[in-house]
Amino acid sequence: MSRIHHPGCRVDVDERSDRETFSDPDAEAWLEPGSILVSYYDEDGMVIFDGVEAEDGGYSLSARSRPWRADLRPMADDPGVLAGMIEAPDESFAWRLRLGNAVGVEAD
């Protein structure tokens, strides 16, 4: 199985009840058949989402250090961008991941 690393991704998180729109231009993503891992920093520190491929070709994810769940789906007009929702305990908000160029493939 091989893992594709995408450094230099951009994560955009839409406005929430207590925070303005947020962007991290230094996010990273790792993709391998059937799974995805996304990491970025927000105002509270590192966020890591780990997920599996869903039946519709998107991903269902869980945050490792926060009580958040999320989904991501490739955008039809730009497959290099995945978009979805983050579900937090008291709210939900939109987010997008723009994949950076793949720099290498790691074989397991």
Q: What was the pLDDT predicted at 16?
A: 80
CA 22, 39, 55, 95: dihedral to nearest 10 degrees? 0
Q: Where are the domains of the chain?
A: 2-107
Could you tell me the pLDDT band of residue 98, with boundaries at 50, 70 and 90? very high
Q: What was the pLDDT predicted at 106?
A: 62
CATH architecture of 2-107: Beta Barrel (2.40)
At 2-36, the pLDDT tens digits run 889 999 999 999 988 777 899 999 999 999 999 99
Q: What was the pLDDT predicted at 56?
A: 84
Q: What was the pLDDT predicted at 19?
A: 79
**Angle at 68 (CA atoms; ends 102, 27), nearest 5 degrees:** 25
| Identity of the amino acid at 33 | P
Structure tokens at 80: 């290099």
Q: Are 37 and 53 in contact (CB under 8 A)?
A: no
* Nearest alpha-carbon partner for 95 in 82, 108, 78: 82
- Measured CA to CA, the distance from residue 27 to residue 48 in angstroms comes to 10
Structure tokens at 15: 């406005």
Q: What was the pLDDT predicted at 5?
A: 93
| Identity of the amino acid at 90 | D
